[in-house]
């Protein structure tokens, strides 16, 4: 755990007995980024380089939310993006969501997912997508409870050979038909385990 001076983290968005929730702030990149990387790479066998994190955080830092415990330890984080995708004017994409093992089952992941979804909705998102491994039951349950539907199954999507489900959440009714249902280019986008 990195020791950060109290106050350096800025003002929390929300506080509970145990936790404080923050929106990512690039001013504190040097504090946040190592913590985020450490937390996320724990769950990945294929690590992302620092560029991947910066790719998201620099462009869509306002969609990244973090939960800290009372000792300034990072407990959970969500990283997302929001941009045009084919015929969809603004499609959100939840790229990474991680919660420290001992803090799981307390609704922190749901809270973080909701924060990033709310931020995307505020920015006028049309829909939100993400992928999970077909074996990741807790993640699937989390997103399904929020209203996501499985839209596709992607065969051998991850490097470990596992298949993925693509989840989608429509936020708005499309103004006119023309949304492209087929978006397999994302296959290339996020292959990780």
Contacts with another protein by CB under 8 A lie at 26, 29-30, 33, 45-52, 54-55, 57-59, 81, 114, 117, 121, 134, 144-157, 159, 161, 163, 165, 168-171, 173-174, 177, 179, 181-182, 184, 187-192
How far apart CA 46 and CA 171 sit, in angstroms, is: 32
Q: How far is the CB of 122 from another protein (least distance, A)?
A: 13
Q: How far is the CB of 68 from another protein (least distance, A)?
A: 19
DSSP 109-157: HHHHHHHHHHHHHHTT-SEEEEEEETT-HHHHHHHHHHT-EEEEEETT-
Q: Which is nearer to another protein, 99 or 169 (CB)?
A: 169
Helix (H) or strand (E) holding 53: helix 50-60
Say if residues 114 and 76 touch (Cβ distance below 8 Å): no
Helix (H) or strand (E) holding 51: helix 50-60
Q: How far is the CB of 185 from another protein (least distance, A)?
A: 9
Q: Which is nearer to another protein, 69 or 179 (CB)?
A: 179
Q: Which is nearer to another protein, 6 or 181 (CB)?
A: 181
Place of tokens 């397999």: 184
Q: How far is the CB of 162 from another protein (least distance, A)?
A: 11
- In 10 A of CB 155, how many CB atoms? 10
Q: Which is nearer to another protein, 70 or 86 (CB)?
A: 86
Q: Which is nearer to another protein, 34 or 69 (CB)?
A: 34
């Amino acid at each position: 755990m990195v020791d950060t001076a109290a106050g350096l983290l800025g003002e929390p968005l929300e506080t509970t007995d145990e936790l404080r929730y923050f929106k990512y702030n690039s001013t504190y990149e040097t504090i946040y980024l190592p913590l985020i990387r450490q937390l996320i790479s724990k769950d990945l066998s294929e690590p992302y380089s620092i560029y991947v994190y910066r790719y998201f955080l620099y462009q869509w830092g306002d969609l990244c939310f973090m939960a800290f415990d009372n000792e300034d330890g990072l407990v959970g984080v969500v990283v997302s993006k929001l941009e045009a995708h084919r015929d969809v004017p603004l499609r959100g994409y939840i790229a990474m969501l991680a919660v420290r093992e001992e803090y799981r089952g307390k609704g922190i992941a749901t809270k973080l997912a909701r924060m990033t979804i709310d931020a995307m909705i505020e920015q006028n998102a049309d829909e939100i997508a993400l992928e999970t491994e077909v074996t990741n039951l807790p993640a699937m349950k989390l997103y399904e409870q929020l209203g996501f539907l499985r839209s596709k199954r992607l065969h051998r999507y991850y490097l470990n050979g596992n298949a993925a489900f693509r989840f989608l959440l429509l936020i708005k009714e499309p103004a006119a038909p023309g949304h492209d249902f087929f978006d397999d280019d994302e296959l290339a986008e996020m292959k990780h385990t």
